[in-house]
Amino acid sequence: MPNQDSPGRYGAVAQALHWLIATLIATQFVLAIWADGLPIGAHKLALLARHKSFGMTVLMLAVLRLVWRLTHPPPGLPTGMTSVERVLAGTTHAAFYVLLFAMPLTGWLMSSAKSYSVSWFGLFTWPNLIGKNEAAFDLLRTTHHLLGDALFALAVLHILAALKHHFWNRDDVLARMLPFAKLETTKSEKRP
Amino acid sequence: MTKPIAASTALLASAFLSVAAGAAPGYSADPQQSRLEFVGMQAGAEFKGTFHKFTAAIEFAPGDLASSRFDVQIDLNSVDTMDKDRDTAIRGGDIFDVAHHPTAHYVTRSFTKTATGYAAAGALTLRGVTKDVPIDFHFTESPAGAKLDGTAKLKRLDFGAGQGDWKSTDQVADSVKINFSLVLKPKT
């Protein structure tokens, strides 16, 4: 598997970042929903501490991923896609990038506003971005939840689209993000 | 010109009287300017708490440590960690249990001079449990009274401040730092 992205598929770094972040985000939803259902207590705080550590990890990986994406153009889209599908795919991916930053940042702001500093796995503490502010906390919590709902909807759309490409269009859109899958076709267009 | 003389005469006189009576001068902490804080550690991040209500009766003379004494009463309901959810949890039965033990009490037993200031041996009563908690402090006399700045360290679980889930130190560290800065006014 080449390290660089090739016209046909994503390289090892892009794939590693994609799957690592995807796994972390899936875990984030589980931790968030689990913690939300608990009364305030040691167990809830433990889950939220883990949620924050993972969230800050996502933020750091998002920076890496954005830099990588900007310096390593991804493989092109399959030739058979309509212009509507292309716009939809582009918008979905752009929205993912926005949320990769917006989710951790609103979470970090939320913790700051409630004066619960964010630790990274107990190794070091991130500075509070804003001072204690009850009204800001309420607003940020609502925003964090709404963005979370949007991220969930986007992820469902993303997964359905990948499956549609794989099983319906029978192109390489899914396979080129999988480390071990063989590319069946070379239908992807070459980037200029 | 006469004022400083009068003041120093008064000071001398009161010092003499104190010595004669075998008691260090008495002060009380000015509630407006004094601070009593603790620093806890939750999930690897520090959080600060303040007690807004406490009374401190301080009898202290650098030259008469034997008759010096601190007596501090802390209203545990006045705890403020900048988050009402956290405050409610701390006041609750599993931590401070303010319903049964609304105040904490600290009394010194003896004082020693240290390289940089003073150390006091004393006992803290919290949740009905009395344990020794030594403190280190600086004492600075001023025309208006004195200033007392110090620190202490305790283990919350020594006092049972952490029952049920809170007994675990995975999330909330056992060790708690105490910082205080008291502005002392002579007792009238």
Question: Given A115, A122, A123, which is nearest B82 (Cβ)?
Answer: A115
Question: By percentage, how much of chain B surpasses pLDDT 70?
Answer: 88
Backbone angles phi, psi at B179, to 5 degrees: -125, 135
Chain A neighbors of B45, CB-CB under 8 A = 116-119, 125
Window A:93-122, CB contacts with B under 8 Å: 114-122
Mean pLDDT of the region B48-60: 96
Using the predicted structure, report yes or no on whether residue B2 has a pLDDT greater than 70.
no
Give which of B41, B51, B23, B69 is closest to B126, Cα–Cα: B51
Residues in contact with A122: Cβ distance below 8 Å, sequence separation at least 6, in sequence order:
B43, B44
Record: contact B43-A115, CB cut-off 8 A: no
Which two three-digit tokens encode residue A118? 């964010």
A97 vs A154: CA distance, rounded Å: 11
Could you tell me which chain B residue has the CA closest to the CA of A125?
A: B45
Amino acid A127: pLDDT: 96
* Mean per-residue pLDDT over chain A, rounded: 89
Record: contact B81-A122, CB cut-off 8 A: no
Question: Given B81, B83, B172, which is nearest A42 (Cβ)?
Answer: B172
Record: contact B83-A132, CB cut-off 8 A: yes
A25: enclosing H helix or E strand: helix A12-36
Could you tell me which chain B residue has the CA closest to the CA of A123?
A: B44
Record: contact A121-B45, CB cut-off 8 A: no
Amino acid A184: pLDDT: 60
Which two three-digit tokens encode residue B160? 């049972």
Top residue of B156, B165, B168 to mutate, by most chain A CBs within 10 Å, is B165
Mean pLDDT of the region A110-132: 94
Amino acid B171: pLDDT: 87
Count of other CB atoms within 10 angstroms of residue B8: 11
Give which of A87, A106, A185 is closest to A150, Cα–Cα: A106
Which two three-digit tokens encode residue A95? 């929205």
Enter the pTM of the model: 0.80
What pLDDT band is residue A188 in, cutting at 50, 70 and 90? very low
Of residues A104 and B188, more confidently modeled: A104
A148 vs A142: CA distance, rounded Å: 10
- Residue A135, chain B, CB below 8 Å: the answer is no
B128 vs B16: CA distance, rounded Å: 40
Using the predicted structure, report yes or no on whether residue A185 has a pLDDT greater than 60.
no
Amino acid A192: pLDDT: 40
What is the amino acid identity at position B47? F
pLDDT digits over A163-179, tens only?
999 899 888 888 889 88
pLDDT digits over A76-96, tens only?
888 888 999 999 999 999 999
Question: Given B82, B86, B170, which is nearest A46 (Cβ)?
Answer: B170
Residue A3 near residue A13, CB atoms below 8 Å: yes
Record: contact A45-B82, CB cut-off 8 A: no
- Residue B166, chain A, CB below 8 Å: the answer is yes
Could you tell me which chain B residue has the CA closest to the CA of A45?
A: B171
Amino acid A110: pLDDT: 97
A31: enclosing H helix or E strand: helix A12-36
Chain B neighbors of A52, CB-CB under 8 A = 43
What pLDDT band is residue A7 in, cutting at 50, 70 and 90? low
pLDDT digits over B98-150, tens only?
999 999 999 999 999 999 999 999 999 999 999 999 999 999 998 889 999 99
What is the interface pTM, i.e. ipTM, of the complex? 0.73
Distances in Å between the alpha carbon of A177 and those of A155, A184, B77, B124? 15, 13, 57, 62
Top residue of B37, B41, B82, B169 to mutate, by most chain A CBs within 10 Å, is B82
Amino acid A189: pLDDT: 46
Question: Given B42, B47, B89, which is nearest A40 (Cβ)?
Answer: B89
Record: contact B89-A114, CB cut-off 8 A: no
Query: Helices in A37-82 by DSSP H: which ranges?
Result: 42-71
Place of tokens 């499956």: A163
Gyration radius (Cα) of chain B, Å? 18
Mean pLDDT of the region B62-73: 95
pLDDT digits over A11-57, tens only?
889 999 999 999 999 999 999 999 999 988 888 999 999 999 999 99
Amino acid A3: pLDDT: 52
Amino acid A175: pLDDT: 86
Residue A186 near residue A8, CB atoms below 8 Å: yes
